[in-house]
Structure 1
Amino acid sequence: MNQSKINQSIKSLLLCITGFLMASGIASAQVDKNSELFKTLKAKDSILFKIGFNKCEVEKSAALMYDDLEFYHDKGGVTNSKDEFVKNMKNGLCRENNPEKVYRFLVEESLDVFPMFKNGKLYGALQNGKHFFSTDQSMTYKKSDNYALFSHLWIIENNEWKLKRVISYNHTAKEAGK
């Protein structure tokens, strides 16, 4: 299967899952951006990216992940475990003296969180958003042309939120604002 078909399949799968969850009532409407759940998962996003990705403190972000983490990336393929993810980060983006170091920035207003319940009890949440990337640590997204969308499936385990699945897709290089 070629890359274009794989990308389309991932997008279709994500849309189907989201649509099913919303239509079936399994997932309820997006939570308020001032809610405790939204703030908690936004803070987890900061640990994943501001610390783990941007500062390359990979172990801190890895602590938030399930061992069987699955990471689907429309340009980089599938990563099948937390260990594989950490190894890829340390040998790639976070390798020593990386001249191509890239920083990730969240488009703040794009972040949405959808709680997931079983028998009325919160067990997880889907976090969606848009982010951009730059080799400039102080970059603002209004100047960037390197955007992508993401969906994170967070599950509560022993009263802690842990990242179970990641879909990172629609990586583009467009002029800002278009």
Structure 2
Amino acid sequence: MKHFFLLLIISSVAGYSQNSDKQFDKDELIRQDSLFWVAFNRCDVDEMMTFFTDDMEFYHDNGGFTKGLRKFEEETRAGMCKDPANWSLRRVEIKESTEIYEINQYGAIISGEHLFYINETDKDEYLDGYGKYQNIWKYDDGEWKMSRILSYDHKAPPEKYKAE
């Protein structure tokens, strides 16, 4: 029994030191996050899906809960990206609201606020909504991927953004 506990302690310390040797690369995380939103704004579903873990979970205050990459992709293709030539959504980050927090031995959380603009055939783009988000990014095998997405507090955009 003593040997079991000693082995457990040694393996825990070894595992911790291996993970703590990884440098948290905030700039690379920001770059990956930006690339995701470029794909989102183009409604490039194939590219968007490369930014998620297979076991991803999406929590949306209006749309509900979606579990798994395959289901999320189906819902994205049937919903938001059903006809991007005639209707599309453009997301704009409110940069001063963005915060990043490291999760030791896992990844990071990116949270903040964003605005949504609608593009429709024969109409000028218009500001349609505001929301908050918290995305949990997992760092695994040298890659950043989103594993949990929380999108909430959707409402009309605050007055201060309507004039922009």
Alignment TM-score, normalising by the size of structure 2: 0.73
The residue aligned with 1:8 is: none
Alpha-carbon distance change, 97 to 129 in structure 1, aligned in 2, over 3 angstroms: closer
Quote how far apart the aligned CAs of 1:164 are.
0.7
The residue aligned with 2:30 is: 42
Aligned equivalents of 2:61 and 2:99: distance in 1?
21
Q: Is 2:121 the partner of 1:146?
A: no
Alpha-carbon distance change, 83 to 113 in structure 1, aligned in 2, over 3 angstroms: same
The residue aligned with 2:115 is: 132
Alpha-carbon distance change, 176 to 37 in structure 1, aligned in 2, over 3 angstroms: farther
Alignment TM-score, normalising by the size of structure 1: 0.67
Q: Which residue of 83, 92, 98 corresponds with 1:111?
A: 98
Aligned equivalents of 2:58 and 2:97: distance in 1?
21
Quote how far apart the aligned CAs of 1:75 are.
0.4
Aligned equivalents of 1:129 and 1:175: distance in 2?
15
CA contact (8 A) 1:47 1:60 kept: no
List per-residue Cα deviations over 1:104-154 (Å, max 9, x = no partner).
11112221100011xxxx421111011110114996xxx845110000111
CA contact (8 A) 1:126 1:154 kept: yes
Aligned equivalents of 1:111 and 1:38: distance in 2?
13
Aligned equivalents of 1:64 and 1:82: distance in 2?
10
Gaps of 5+ in 2: 1-23
CA RMSD of aligned residues (A): 2.5
The residue aligned with 2:19 is: none
Gaps of 5+ in 1: 1-35
CA contact (8 A) 1:144 1:176 kept: no
Q: Which residue of 49, 67, 88 corresponds with 2:75?
A: 88
Quote how far apart the aligned CAs of 1:98 are.
5.6
CA contact (8 A) 1:145 1:175 kept: no
- Please identify the structure whose Cα radius of gyration is greater: 2
